Chain A
Amino acid sequence: MIDKKLYCETFSRLRASDEAKKEVLLKMSETKKTRRPLRALRVLAMAAMLTLALAVSANAASNGAFFENLRIIWQDENQILMEDDNGNQVVVTCVDADAELRDGKLILTVNDEEIDITDSIAESGSFSVTAKGEDGTEVEVSVTGTLEDWEVHTSVDGGGVDYSVNTDAERSAECGQSFTTTVVTTD
């Protein structure tokens, strides 16, 4: 058996330095200033709609933007509930997907998994992979463009109609904050 008292006395001596604690408070201030984008908002894929499903389906046929000026009213690690000026609400499932050029190679990172998509983009201008959101929703992540200029999109089957959501990668948002984005139907 481990002597619990001795163990606790021993490991209580391990302490983070005051400098490290001060530094994290400084970083907090920087975080406030820069408002770094929340991971969940880098790329979003819509999984379901809470209200106005019929209206959305009708809009789907027009293949255009139908939600603008969305405001986040609730979010957790996996999902974000957003509402527009008219009270229409959507729930989006978050998938962490991003592409970046590293040493001449285009690397797509999906949920912490890295994929070298250099050849696919160079040859065909597109690459896609299916990922799972943490709630099990299957999300298609696709990259289109060239090695100099590419875009990452996600889409998910929303009951017969595919929807995709694009957000400004540089924007940040938190509950209660408004921001402009568009939800575009792509059936």
Chain B
Amino acid sequence: MTDQRFREAVELYGDMVFRLAYSYLKNRADAEDVMQEALLKLYVEPRDFESAEHEKRWVLHVAANECKKLLRSPWRRRTDPLDEAAETAAFDQPAQTELFRQVMALPPKYRAAVYLHYYEGCSVKEIGELLGAKASTVQTWLMRARGQLKTKLKEAEAYD
């Protein structure tokens, strides 16, 4: 990969990988480490990808693997406190803040699956391939995530 192409890739994939990693790890520093690691792997990857979509999926797959590796690591930084996490992104609507809080309270795999499905538009099959799980398992994660979010967001609404 040429240096120019790599600069473009950082712009193109940097935030995408960061969002996936943050969804997984709930920690800015770890998520930025994953973003850098995944992009550097792209830089040294010798293959020519079949398409832009193929390259994007490859980067997401590498990032997901890095996240899983970090989650297993005893050296991993602890997750950011929720208040701090909410400050990671400045939201201008209370509904955004509440959704962010509730999504980040889900288990890591649910959060990653939700991100890939709702933000990146991946199908359950694609998410399964990216996260190393069966499509039926991903379907269950998404269903449970939706259920938990529905309950929590309703509770928050009632409380307000």
Contacts and interface: CB of A to CB of B under 8 A. Distances in A.
Given A10-B99, A11-B19, A28-B3, 4 more contacts: A4-B118, A7-B114, A14-B89, A20-B14
B10 A14 contact: no
A102 interface: no
A10 B36 contact: no
10 contacts: A7-B103, A7-B114, A10-B89, A11-B103, A13-B90, A23-B36, A24-B40, A27-B40, A31-B43, A38-B44
A2 interface: yes
A21 interface: yes
A15 interface: yes
Contacts of B114: 2, 7
Interface string A1-40: 1111011111101111100110111011001100010100
Interface residues of A, number: 31
Contacts of B40: 24, 27-28, 31
Contacts of A53: none
Contacts of B91: 10, 13
Question: DSSP majority for the B interface?
Answer: helix
Contacts of B115: 11
B130 interface: no
Q: Which 4 A-B pairs have the closest CB atoms?
A: A13-B89, A16-B18, A20-B32, A10-B96
A12 to B, nearest CB: 8
- Chain B: interface residue count, which band? 35 or more
Contacts, number: 91
A27 B40 CA distance: 8
A13 B28 CA distance: 13
Contact of A13 (B14, B46, B96, B146): B96
A11 B47 CA distance: 31
Interface in B54-72: 69
A175 interface: yes
Contacts of B124: none
A4 B118 CA distance: 6
Interface in B6-38: 6-7, 10-11, 14-15, 17-19, 22-23, 28, 31-32, 35-36
Contacts of A2: 114, 118, 145-146, 149
Contacts of B15: 14-16
Contacts of A174: 44, 46
Contacts of B119: 7-8, 11
A17 B46 contact: no
A128 interface: no
A77 to B, nearest CB: 9
B31 A16 contact: yes
Contacts of B131: none
A170 interface: no
A96 B62 CA distance: 17
